[in-house]
Every structure is written in C-alpha cells, then in structure tokens.
Chain A
Amino acid sequence: MEKTHPGRPLVVRQLRKTYPGEAAPALRDVDLHVDAGEALGLLGPNGAGKTTAISIMSTLMRPDSGTVTICGIEIFKQTHRAKKHFGLVPQEIALYPSLTCHENLHFFGRLAGLKGRKLKGRIDECIDLVGLTASAGKRVATFSGGMKRRANIAAGILHKPELLFLDEPTVGIDAQSRHMILEMLARLNRQGTGMIYTTHYMEEAQALCSRVAIIDQGKIIVQGPPLELTARYPGCADLGGLFLLLTGKQLRD
C-alpha cells in the first residue's frame, strides 16, 4: 500500500453534519486525529454521532462541511485513492450469509484490488488470524455470533489497511470471542495499524485504546489517554465513571 502520510493516518477537521429534516446537527465541528499505530476509542451514548462520524470518515456519507484526510489524501477529493488506505468493520455483520467465509473474503478481497496468489495468501492469513481456519469452507449463516464477528473483522483487514474503522465490533458476543477479538486487534495495532474504535464497553476501550474521545450530541467533549482523563476528573475511578459524569445518567433512545 502507498504510504503518503506515515505519521498520521487520519486527520479530521471541523466536521459538521445535519440530517435532512433534523433541527439538531448530528456532528458539530468534530476534530479528531489518529497517529500511526494508535487506537482511538470513540465513545458516546446512543445517538451521540459515533456511527455518523465513522460513516463520513469511511466515505459512505458526505459531511455538510469539514475535511477528512486519510494518509494525506483528502477523502472527498480523491475518494477512490483514499479507500485503498482504510478498512471498515461495520456494526452489522456485513457478509453474505449464503456464501462461505472463504467466498466472502475472496469477493471482498477482489473488490479491494487483490488477486492471484496475493489474494489467496491474505485470505489464509486473515482466516488464521481470526481463528476460523477450520470453518472457512462453511457458510456464514451457520456461524455462531462470535464467529460472524471474527469473519466480519477478517473482511475489513484483508487488504492490510493502515487505518481501521471498527464500529462496535464486539456487540452481542460471548466473553471468549470478545477476548479473542481484542487480543487480535491489539496485535494489529502493535503492528502499526491505526484504529478508530467505537464501543459501549468502557473496559474494552480502556484495554485497547491509547487515547479516547467522548462524543455527545455530535460534539467531542473530551479526548486524551484514558488514565490522564480519569485523573483529570476527581472521583472517577475508571472510564465508565468518567463517561457517566460527562454524558449524564439520563436514558438515551
């Protein structure tokens, strides 16, 4: 992969987005960045703007204003080029259930521009990485929730992206699968893959992310290393306490 900006794979400036028919903006002047080999936790209650931010950063949605630069490429000016540098692991299991895990990876790999031996090698590597070697020939529909989540991640990292968007990748799975996924992501992170990780599990963010940004009502309230943030707010023993302190205890729909 081309490395045009090795130091900072993601820079987001003044991102604003208001959905048609909505009065309140979904994102308000969001500024973010991810350094090489850094995992940034994007935390927020339901409807805070996490998925909107991920959608815009992964070129799926256009912002009203602001810029997103991935590996030095402004994504809405050179979308096709920018797409080669990031991977997306959406909240949904974005795989074809009636295809096998191998067939899914083969299809997405070819769309990502891989082919021949390189594609085959990457498929084998990724399947091995997510621990699905024995089940690679089975249809995704027959997989357990944890296996689906792992296959979902494999499809996102197939083309060795420098930046990975992970939108709640561990939702609805058992502790073992969660542990395995977090281990795997930590390994990828150590190998230099930058990450934006959204989750509702604070302990996951604390364990994986070197920095977190808390977003609420479309605005980044605070960002920094987890330990530094908890130290900044007296009475907050952990990230969970900090999160509730900053976003409140009122229920969100």
Chain B
Amino acid sequence: MTRLVATIFKELLLLGRDRAGLLVLFLMPAVLVIVVSLVQENILKVTGETVVRVLFVDQDRQLLGQFIETQFRQSGTIEIANEVNGRTADEKNARAAVEDGDFQFAVVIPAGATEAVEKRVKRQILSAFDPGDAAAGSNRDMPRVTLLFDPLVQGTFRASVTNALHVILLTLELEMKARAVSEIFPQQLEQTLQKAMGPQGTATIGNPLASMNPEWGRQRLLGIESRQATRGDAAKRPSSVQQNVPAWALFGMFFIVVPMGGSLIREKQEGTLLRVMSLPVSYLTILAGKVCAYVLVCCFQFTLILAVGKFVLPLLGAPELEIGSAPLAIAVVVASAALAATGYGIFLGTIARTYEQASMFGAVSVVIAAAMGGIMVPVYAMPKLMQQISQFSPLAWGLNALVNVFARNGTALSVFPQIALLLFFFAGTVLLSWFFFHHRGLTVN
C-alpha cells in the first residue's frame, strides 16, 4: 500500500511540475468548451432559435406589407429592420446591404401589392362562379414578394426563413380568400336566387347569407403540440452547452494520454524504470499507482470543465449547464472514461519507442477518436458510414452516456452498456500493454 501511495504521490508531483502537460490537461479543454459552446450557441440562435435580422422593404404600405411585418415580428425568431445605415430601406440599398453581408435576408414588398392581390382574389372567386374567365388563375400578373438572401447562407437556415415567408403568405391568401368568399358568395347566392325565384321570392327568405362572418378564414382546424421527449423533467432544454461541456471535458480527459504516455517513455529512456524494476515492487503496483494518479487528475479535470459550463458560460451569454439528476451515474461514467483514457495512455507509453512518437500519435489518435465520437460534430449529423464507425470510439461511448445523463435524465442503469464498454477498453489496453511490456523488455534503445 505504501508503495502504491508513493507512486501516486510521485506521479502527481511530476505532473504538477509539467507546465506544458498542465496546460494541455486543464487550459485547453476549458478554452475549447468556452469557445465552441459560444460559437455553436450563436449558430443555434442564427439558425432558428432567436434573432435572425431581416431587412424589410415595404413599398406597399398597406395590408400585405403590414401583415407580413406583423407576422415576422410575432414569430419571435426574426428581427425586422426597416433602415439601412439610417436611411429608409428600398430595394436598391437592401440588395447592397445583403450583398455586403450586413443582413442575411431582405424581404421586398412591391408597391401596390395589396391592391393587386385583392383584385386577383376577387377575380379568382368570381371565376369559380363563372368558369368562362380562364385567365383568372394565370400567374402572369401575380404580384411577387422578393426574398433576397446572402449567398453564404445555405441549407436549413435559408429554408427556414423561406418556409416562414411561405406560411405567412399562405395564411394571408387564405384570409383574403375567405374574406372575398364571405363578401361574394352571399351576393352570388342572392343573384342566383333572384334569377330563379324573382325579387318577391328572395324577399321572403330574409338576408342571413349577406352577413357571412369573414373571420372563419382565420379559425384554425389543426394544431401542433411540440414537446421534448425526455424522461422526467421536461422543462430542461438541451443546448449546445449540454453537448459541448461533456464532449470537450471527455476530449481533455483523453488528452491525458500525451503526458501519461510521455511519462512512461521518459521513465524508460531516463532509466528510472530500470531502478524501479530493480526494487522489491511489482510492475502492477507501479501501473496501479499511475492509473490512480491520472484517474484523479481526469476527475479533477472533468469537475473543472463542469464548473466552467455551470458558472463561466452563463456569464458569457450561453445557457447554464444542466447536470441532470443522477450525480452517481455521472461519477461512474467519468471514472470509467478516466480509466479508459489512462489505459490508452499506458498502452501508448508501452508501445511507443520515443516521446515524440507517443505525443504525436497520442494527440492525433485522440483527435480522430473525438471526431469519430461526435465531440466536434454530433453523431446524428454524420453520414451513415461515419455513424457506424463512431460506435467504435471510446469517446462516443463516454459522450453518449454523459449526454444521456445530462440531457435525457438517464441513470447509471440506462448508461450501463457504455460504462461496460469503457471498462472493457481499459482492461483490454492494460492487458495489451502487459503483453508488450514483457515481450519487448524494459529498455527502449
């Protein structure tokens, strides 16, 4: 026991004096989690969460323009601007502003659009009663709302604004058509009845159809209820922080392979391992001491990154990290991930022949495993092949388990498969290291 404690103490002392190692272990993941969370939080906002700035050019100044502007404002996700550099927006300066990237979108409502639409509605409704007007449905004279967008804006972001505009226009069309029907249908009905029954006949019916309520076009038939599919507390909202904090904390933990592998290599190169092995202590005790020390460091590292997510990120405008309601599950997952990381560090330190090999291969392999494991881009956003490959990354196992606990109220039981995989990985890497250690002998040169 005293030998184990001595080894743990020595490892912590060595690590404490390795400034570069400390920077890699603590500063790098803390900076990464802050930078990436803030960047992704902003993208999340820009791509539909809150404010998208749209330059609104209303040359119509009647119902159509007012309706679209009101609907945009009510959506809560679009901020309307009517001026460019202090001047009222027109089509020309709006185009220039979007071209320059000052705005990602501009909506131009042409002058006289409301009047033109009202005329078309009436003509279309009348043509329904009088099929002789074939030109009523033609799109040739249709007034058009112009949507200008920055060419750099792609994919779902562009589609979300275009779709929002479509929905607004459809709503407006429906309302205008309902209003027109409410006006025209009673008149048409009356005319038809007069033709059939004569003026005396219609006078006896009364006039209920003439006062048809135009509001029926606004009344909804079907709604959407949007709810998160999470266990327990549904009020918790997954955010970029919920993904990034565990992701980059795990990334930092696995980066322990660099100082750890390096420490093993240095012990071989400097001869300290020879001295240790000549003393009455088993190599297993030495390894256990290293594992304990580095697992402690990993846990401290994770706690630090968690604190950054909980206390620092909210100060910078990102949402606060929600850590779920299963601290035991988090502790077990973190300990398992730390064991997996240290196991890999031991393996690397055993198979590498130089410090450069260990640090280079260690860093690159962790970055690849992180990319595969959904640390940088969520696994669901990857191509199918990469999604399948990601199942082999220990970082994916750790991340799935942590996100499960943080954002889906998972428990130790629900993340047991990932915990088991991480522990198998640890056992496998240590056994392989043991094999290589005995196969290769102690010296590296």
Q: How far is the CA of A95 from the CA of B13 in the complex (A)?
A: 14
Q: A: which residues have CB within 8 A of B?
A: 58-61, 80-81, 83-84, 86-88, 90-99, 103, 106-108, 110-113, 115, 155-156, 159
Q: Which residues on A sit within 8 Å (CB–CB) of B10?
A: 96, 99, 103, 107
Q: Chain B: residues with CB nearer than 8 A to chain A?
A: 2-3, 5-7, 9-10, 13-14, 17-18, 270-272, 274-282, 441-442
Pick the residue among A87, A91, A111 that contacts B6 (CB under 8 A). Answer: A111
Residues of B within 8 A of A83 (CB): 278-280
Contacts of B9 in A (CB 8 A): 107
Instruction: With both chains docked as a complex, state the minimum distance between the C-beta of B263 and any C-beta of chain A, in angstroms.
Output: 10
Pairwise interchain contact B278-A92, C-beta atoms closer than 8 A: no
Majority secondary structure of chain B interface residues (helix, strand, loop or mixed):
helix
Listed residue (B270, B280, B282) with the most chain A CB atoms within 10 angstroms of its CB: B280
Contact partner of A90 (CB less than 8 A), chosen from B6, B271, B282, is B271
Asked whether, in the complex, the Cβ of A88 is within 8 Å of the Cβ of B280, the reply is: no
A115 CA / B2 CA spacing, docked (Å): 8
Chain B residue contacts of A112, Cβ below 8 A: 279-280
B270 close to A80 (CB less than 8 A): no
**With A60-B442, A103-B13, A107-B6 given, is the CB distance from A92 to B270 under 8 Å?**
yes
Interchain CA distance A244-B235 in the complex, whole Å: 87
Q: How far is the CB of A193 from chain B (nearest CB, A)?
A: 16
Minimum CB–CB distance for B443 against chain A, Å: 8
- Asked whether A93 and B3 contact (CB < 8 A) given A84-B280, A98-B17, A111-B281, the answer is no
Q: Contact: B3 with A95, CB < 8 Å? A: no
**Smallest beta-carbon distance B266→chain A, Å:** 8
What are 8 contact pairs spanning A and B, CB under 8 A? A81-B280, A90-B274, A93-B270, A96-B270, A107-B6, A107-B7, A107-B10, A108-B275
State in angstroms the CA–CA spacing of A94 and B276 once bound together. 9
Contacts of A86 in B (CB 8 A): 278
B289, closest chain A residue (CB) = A111
Tell me which residues across on chain A come within 8 A of B3, comparing CB atoms.
Answer: 110-111, 113
A88 in contact with B278 (CB, 8 Å)? yes
**What is the CA–CA distance of A61 and B272 in the complex, to the nearest angstrom?**
16
Q: Report how far A236 CA is from B272 CA in the complex, Å.
A: 40
Contact, CB under 8 Å: A94 / B2:
no
Question: Which A residues are in CB contact (< 8 Å) with B282?
Answer: 80
In chain B, what residue has the closest Cβ to A51? B443
Please name the residue on chain B nearest to A58 by beta carbon. Answer: B278
Minimum-distance CB pairs A-B, first 3:
A92-B271, A94-B271, A110-B6
Interface-centre pick from A58, A84, A96, A111 (highest chain B CB count, 10 A): A111
Most buried by B among A94, A112, A113: A94
List residues of chain B with CB within 8 A of the CB of A111: 3, 6-7, 276, 279-281
Contact A96 B274 (CB under 8 A): no
- Indicate which residue in A59, A94, A115 contacts B275 across the interface (CB closer than 8 Å): A94
Q: If A61-B441, A103-B13 touch, does A98 touch B18 (CB 8 Å cutoff)?
A: yes
Of all chain A residues, the one with the shortest Cβ separation from B274 is A90
A90-B274, A111-B276, A111-B281 known; 10 other A-B pairs, CB under 8 Å?
A59-B278, A60-B277, A83-B279, A83-B280, A96-B270, A103-B10, A107-B9, A110-B5, A112-B279, A112-B280
